[in-house]
Structure 1
Amino acid sequence: MAKTGLPLNFVKFLQRSDNIREELLQGPSGIRYAKALQKTASEMALALKAKDFDILLAMEKLAVQRDFREFGTELAQKSENGHKQIMERWRIVSNPRTAREDFQATYAPENLPKARVMDTVMESLVKTQCRRLSDYAKGNATPAEKLYFSRRQECLKAVYKEHMLHLSQALGQNQAQEKGKDRPLSR
């Protein structure tokens, strides 16, 4: 007769594993791990405060590589591909000439200064990447892990805002808005 698992043994081992995990998290190694993640999040906050978006993207690349090691290949592979695409969109808009070329296919040249420019590709990439980070932070994540992943999301959203600012400048939208401010309103 084949031996089957006993529910009481299952519960006993499950409780033991929960206790060991809690001991690890509350022990010296777990405390060092939490402090390291908090310091990592702080470094990202400093780069964000300095508005050094190239550094933020480099930090995110390193974090994505860590995700690959920590969380396995399937989700991390998607995350790595997403980061590569974000970097490509960032590079396009970082150069005003390439930004104009890229968006002239979408907008007629005479409409560029007044059109509400949208980069739906970048927006979608950032939202998807933020969802992935949220997936990492679900479940049994510690407060330090949740802070780390939420800081990464915050930084990606800031990169998107800066991206859109660069795009607006490249397409001459800031000049059109400033001209509109200089003109008095008439009826």
Structure 2
Amino acid sequence: MVRLGAWVEGMDADPSVLDRYAEQLGVPMDIAGIFRGPDDDWPYPGDVELGEGRTLLVSWHLDEKADMAGWAAGDQDGWLREAAARIQGHGGPVVLRPWAEMNGDWVGFQPTPRGAAPRPRGGTYEEFIGAWRHVVETVRSCGVTNVKWAFNPTADTYPQTTPRRGPLPG
């Protein structure tokens, strides 16, 4: 089954923008792509409407809370448990993609090979894998049942990008 989704400018403030976009295309939007950061108290009220009959696909930018070693060590577990409760309270299906496009050189959380100069909020491949797994395990341990996880590197490949297989969390 192929499911179509999108992020459309203005849909956070007015979820009907996504519906109008779907009407223009003549196909339903099964997925609402949204971007949330660590200081966003989401799901927003509009996320409930965006998620009605859809899956919320969340690019979850966690980089401002801690670096990869800090996430892996559990430095943000209290905050993460609060976020997990809000996500569970949303009730609808959610796909979380933490650190989306993490292998791009335009993000400060890009993992780098051991011995390479680290990015400001990045770490080694091993630290990224540890952080990613810790976030998933912590959310799951809170009994959150409406979340699936997406490892989402960029498909761009040039010398400054991290190879996709390097930090694959499994």
Q: TM above 0.5, one fold?
A: no
Structure with a larger share of its residues in helix: 1
Query: If you compute each CA radius of gyration, which structure gives the higher value, 1 or 2?
Result: 1
Normalised to the residue count of structure 1, the TM-score between the two structures is 0.27
Structure with a larger share of its residues in strand: 2
Structure with the larger RCO, 1 or 2 (CA within 8 Å, 6+ apart) = 1
